[in-house]
Amino acid sequence: MSEEVIKIEGGHRLRGSVKISGSKNATVALIPAAILANGPVTICGVPNISDVESLSVLLRDLGVDVCIKESKDHIVIDPTHMENKPMLQDAVQKLRASYYFMGALLGKYGKVVMKMPGGCYLGPRPIDLHLKGFEALGAAVKYEHGAYEITADKLIGNKIFLDISSVGATINIMMAAVYAQGRTIIENAAKEPEIIDVATLLNKMGAKIRGVGTNVITIDGVDHLDGCFHEIIPDRIEAATYIVLAAAAADEMTVENIIPAHLESLLSKLQEIGIDIKVDVDKVTIRRGDQPLKCTDIKTLPYPGFATDIQQPLTALLTQAHGQSVITETIYTERFKHCQELNKMGADIDVRIPSSFINGPSRLSGSVVEATDLRCGACLVIAGLIADGVTEIHAVYHIDRGYENLDGKLEALGAKIWRETI
């Protein structure tokens, strides 16, 4: 069976500027949230990634009209003729974000039947917090034949404490609660910018949500939500990936269309290890100085701490730092498959879960590697840019789930990158 691979010839220094796309993690929640409206919702700044196409397929199966404009970054979602059908397609299991349809359908119709959601395997990612939240609002949850059936005669506002400040659970409960009777309070809520973006969309529709960005969110239920227009925030993880990539492989590079406040934990860490960074209102310029990079210790934490999604790309850069760097993963403890792939390229990384010990600097050599998940793919692209020879990356569909036009953006910066079908 043929497979598409990405090949990168290392050693070409990058220069220029790159524009960051709309946030993947916001988009995959905003699209399901749009079905809570009773009229068309226009979302602009949508990244051209495969997850958007997968969500569009699920919407159409529900009878929602979906129109992706010619510019490709505008999507119009019209749920006027929507029907609440069971979501039992295989596509549900390929896309973890499909679980946002649980909160949206439960909120709108009081019932949802859905297969267990899928996505990148990063260790246990249970949805019990989501389900406990739905139960607190008055829903009954049944699981049989590989599908959840969640029903409620009516949803009633309640106080919900999240054992872990989960982004997915915070958004899902928020969506279910917008039509609930009375007031819902989510305590120990996650604070990620993507949650603020979803709440902004819902409030534009007519929801009454306060406190997003803090650990207590208050939702007063409403009877009706209208369509609206919304622009997605820039993708802080894509921005972080290109900033790390610039630190590893560029002489001088500007990363545009970003919100620097969303990236403070990364920017301060890069400055600590010896990268020259100039921060402007909506862009950063990265210069690689002559000084050797210093090793560092990192612990991933919920926002505004160091994002778990950034530790994998950063590992590729830390293979070039002098001394032993330690990354401790507190969010997804299994998130170290990239280390094995980097070691194939000549890195010296010892994984002892929940930490990886990166000994540097290592001279990386082009090799055949596999993108075991989305951010592992980003890590291997960065490694390929600084390795000697040609790196061949397999399972690139993971990369295409979260990075818009990666090849084109890198080519414009001076990288030698191409795809082949083998």
Query: Could you give the residue numbers annotated as active site?
Result: 120
Provide the 10 A C-beta neighbour count for residue 182.
13
127 is in an annotated binding site: yes
Contact between 344 and 384 (Cβ < 8 Å):
no
309 is in an annotated binding site: yes
Q: How far apart are CA 320 and CA 296, in angstroms?
A: 12
In order of 47, 241, 269, the CA distances from 272 in angstroms are 32, 17, 5
128 is in an annotated binding site: yes
User: Taking the alpha carbons of 61, 62, 64, 69 in that order, is the dihedral positive or negative?
Assistant: negative
126 is in an annotated binding site: yes
- Which of 130, 131, 139, 223 is CA-nearest to residue 181? 223
Q: What's the N-to-C CA distance of the chain in angstroms?
A: 9
Helix (H, G, I), strand (E, B) or coil at 392: strand
Beta bridge partners of 207: none
Contact between 229 and 367 (Cβ < 8 Å):
no
Please provide residue 419's backbone torsions phi and psi, each rounded to the nearest 5 degrees: -115, 145
331 is in an annotated binding site: yes
129 is in an annotated binding site: yes
Here the tokens at position 227 are 């369509």
61 is in an annotated binding site: no
Contact between 25 and 233 (Cβ < 8 Å):
no
Beta bridge partners of 417: 8
In what helix (H) or strand (E) does residue 94 lie, and over which residues does it extend?
helix 90-94
Query: With the CA atoms of 414, 415, 416 and 421 taken in that order, what torsion angle do they form, in degrees rounded to the nearest 10?
Result: -130
132 is in an annotated binding site: no
- Which of 295, 346, 345, 339 is CA-nearest to residue 321? 295
25 is in an annotated binding site: yes
Place of tokens 């406190």: 211
CA 210 to chain centre: 24
Concatenated DSSP letters for 136-166? Answer: HTT-EEEEETTEEEEE-SS-B--EEE-SS--
**Binding site members:** 24-25, 96, 125-129, 309, 331
Task: Return binding residues for phosphoenolpyruvate.
Answer: 24-25
